[in-house]
């Protein structure tokens, strides 16, 4: 079952409550929330205080993507508001295994994120403990960029490795996903598609989500 996670980064920030309602009506499976600290990536978005307020106004599960230098500091605040999925970048911390377990012990699904240029081989050992892998298909920091074509092969290799090893982690793809390229991303083996600008800038958000799903 393919799940679609619209990224709030492309929403109208002056009406986040209305945008949450719109995502509910459009049939979003998850809400992708990009947390940026202005240090790990050259942009600043929102943190736990804003997301805490949002959580009171929707029952769509949150898929929080931490683009921060110290992800460990964010585990408790996001656990407290009932976050379903929390991911951090492989490129940020040193103690990957410890962080994965800390996220899971706090009651969330733990994801590890790879920048486009980071090879999947670095995940060999943690693949057996992680709940999902998020493959970035743009360089993180901004919405509205173009999908990097070589990531499709990366998805396929990660899916093959999952099959060969009989593992159950999910594969999420984030960046430049549109109805035009979603088919090949799904066929390569992705389970969760993040889409920011494609959904929020579309005239018919529900139809766009259905197209991303392949319907
Ligand atoms: C980029 C973020 C993405 C972004 C995707 O750093 O991680 O989630 O919002 O936006 P689009 O779909 O517009 O590329
Ligand atoms: Zn993201």
Q: How far apart are CA 122 and CA 119, in angstroms?
A: 6
Of the residues 34, 37, 63, 131, only one is catalytic, namely 34
Q: Is the pLDDT of residue 93 over 90?
A: no
What pLDDT score does 204 carry?
98
DSSP letters along 180-215, please?
TTHHHHHHHT-SEEEESHHHHT-S-HHHHHHHHHT-
Domain that holds residue 150: 3-213
Instruction: Tell the residue nearest (CA) to atom 4 of ligand 1.
Output: 143
- Domain at 50, CATH number: 3.20.20.70
CA of 189 to the centre of ligand 1 (A): 19
The answer, yes or no, to whether residue 15 has pLDDT greater than 90, is yes
Average pLDDT over residues 177-184: 98
Q: Residue for token digits 């969330």?
A: 108
Give the ligand whose atoms come closest to the C-alpha of residue 116: 1
71 CB under 6 A from ligand 1?
Answer: no
Question: How confident is the prediction for the chain on average, in pLDDT?
Answer: 98
Residue 91 confidence (pLDDT) above 90 = yes
Pocket test for ligand 1, best of 38, 43, 87, 145 (most atoms within 8 A of CB): 145
What integer pLDDT is reported at residue 182 of this predicted model? Answer: 98
29 as an active site residue: the answer is no
Q: How many domains does the chain have?
A: 1
Please confirm, yes or no, whether 15 is among the known catalytic residues: no
The answer on pLDDT for 163 being more than 90 is: yes
Per-residue pLDDT at 127 exceeds 90: yes
Q: Is 40 left (phi over 0), alpha (psi -120 to 50) or beta?
A: alpha
pLDDT at residue 202 greater than cutoff 90: yes
**Which pTM was predicted?**
0.98
The alpha carbon of 36 and the centre of ligand 2 are apart by a number of angstroms equal to 9
């Amino acid at each position: 079952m393919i799940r679609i996670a619209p990224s709030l980064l492309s929403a109208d920030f002056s009406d986040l409550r209305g945008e949450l309602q719109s995502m509910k009506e459009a049939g979003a499976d998850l809400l992708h929330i990009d947390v940026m600290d202005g240090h790990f990536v050259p942009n600043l978005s929102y943190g736990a205080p804003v997301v805490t307020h949002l959580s009171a106004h929707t029952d769509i599960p949150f898929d929080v993507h931490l683009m921060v230098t110290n992800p460990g500091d964010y585990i408790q605040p996001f656990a407290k508001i009932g976050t379903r999925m929390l991911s951090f970048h492989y490129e940020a911390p040193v103690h990957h295994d410890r962080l994965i377990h800390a996220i899971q012990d706090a009651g969330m699904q733990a994801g590890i994120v790879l920048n486009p240029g980071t090879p999947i081989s670095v995940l060999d050992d943690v693949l057996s403990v992680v709940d999902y892998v998020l493959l970035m298909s743009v360089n993180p920091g901004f919405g509205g960029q173009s999908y990097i074509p070589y990531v499709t092969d990366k998805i396929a290799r990660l899916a093959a490795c999952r099959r060969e090893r009989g593992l159950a982690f999910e594969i999420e793809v984030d960046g430049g996903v549109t109805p035009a390229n979603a088919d090949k991303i799904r066929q390569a083996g992705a389970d969760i598609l993040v889409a920011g600008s494609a959904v929020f800038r579309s005239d018919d958000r529900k139809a766009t989500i259905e197209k991303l799903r392949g319907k």
